[in-house]
Amino acid sequence: MVLVLALGIFATGFGPPALVESSDAADPLYAYQVPLAQRLAPPSVGARGAVVMDEATGQVLYGKDERRRLPMASTTKMMTALLALERGQLSQVVRVDVNAAEMPDSSTMGLTPGERLTLEDLLYGLLLPSGNDAAVAIARAIAGSEPAFVDLMNQRAAELGLADTHFANPHGLDAPDHYTSAADLARLARVALRNPTFAQIVATRHKAVRGRATYDLTNTNPLLGRPDVEGVKTGHTDQAGSCLVAAFRRDGHRVLTVVLNSPDYVADSLALPDYAFAAYAWPTLSLPDGPLDRDPATGSPSVTLGQQPPIVLPAWQLPLLRAELPAGAGEARFSVAGSPVATVPLAEAAPAR
């Protein structure tokens, strides 16, 4: 139904209706509308919860039960890392009192009691091999105990407006009252990726960390190595199933994807950016054609657009994007079919040379 309505709106003023009654059932769409319909078709995603979000604006471009509360597995460690970066020092030396051998059937970096590593080393052990031992060591180093650290996690979640998230531990093993939503995880990733150290670590495929032992760390993210992938974090438990938060950059724009409890988290994760980058556009706004105040000497416009806000629109709306220059307003207003989408202040144009 959404597809039919979108095609109908697009066709208004641009030719025949999008869909027609015809005896030729094999050709229900006009030729120019076929690629448009393909771009607008939502992705087929098997995950119980999924979302794709524009990183610049936070706009949700696609969602499937994106507010549904679900177990999050080791995607939890994004919050653990964010708190460590906000409250600790990378050079801080941590004396480990965690024994990975006491964590059977658990992903670890291999820590032993008495090991001394920097907080930065532990962050690599947390985010690459998804070390639950590193999560506990970080929690104790930052807050003194795991319960105290979990309190900080929930406090930070509230500050970020993650209304569908609650933490019970710093690593993500299944526990009562440990849940999130796809939309909340995308918001968390959006904040965490603004930290350059976090962004660097989650984009790293391999890292050797040296303490008393040498830890050969490999990132669990199967998408790393693709030219458009910039992280972020995997997760898997019996209750959560397979989960993946990922960041994709194409043509200078980045989208964040989340799939929770997916039967094929690679296929699901790749379908989401393919849809987003085909169905949406990031237009560069420009002044409208028509009369403008002009420099009498050069004939050039005497005003230009000031700082433009990031904007993302469904691709079919681009032909409907209009700009206006209200007299004396000192700003340009942009709308689609009469609905405002952006207001941009005007600035004096640079002198012609």
Residue keyed to tokens 């904007």: 311
**Three-class DSSP category at 90:** coil
Angle between helices 132-143 and 119-127 (to 10 degrees): 140
Q: How many CB atoms lie within 10 A of CB 314?
A: 17
Q: Catalytic annotation on 77?
A: yes
Contact 211, 117 (CB under 8 A): yes
Q: Catalytic annotation on 339?
A: no
DSSP 1: -
Contact 35, 7 (CB under 8 A): no
List Cβ neighbours of 317 (8 Å cut-off, separation of 6 or more): 336, 337
64, 77, 233, 269: which one is catalytic? 77
Alpha carbon of 21 to those of 18, 24, 25, 28: distances in Å? 10, 9, 9, 8
Burial class (CB in 10 A: 0-12, 13-18, 19+), 114: exposed
Q: Catalytic annotation on 74?
A: yes
64, 74, 262, 269: which one is catalytic? 74
130, 181, 242, 262: which one is catalytic? 130
What are the contacts of 145-148 at 24+ separation with CB within 8 A?
146/170
Measure the CA–CA gap between 263 and 172, rounded to whole angstroms. 19
Measure the CA–CA gap between 244 and 237, rounded to whole angstroms. 12
Residues designated as active site = 74, 77, 130
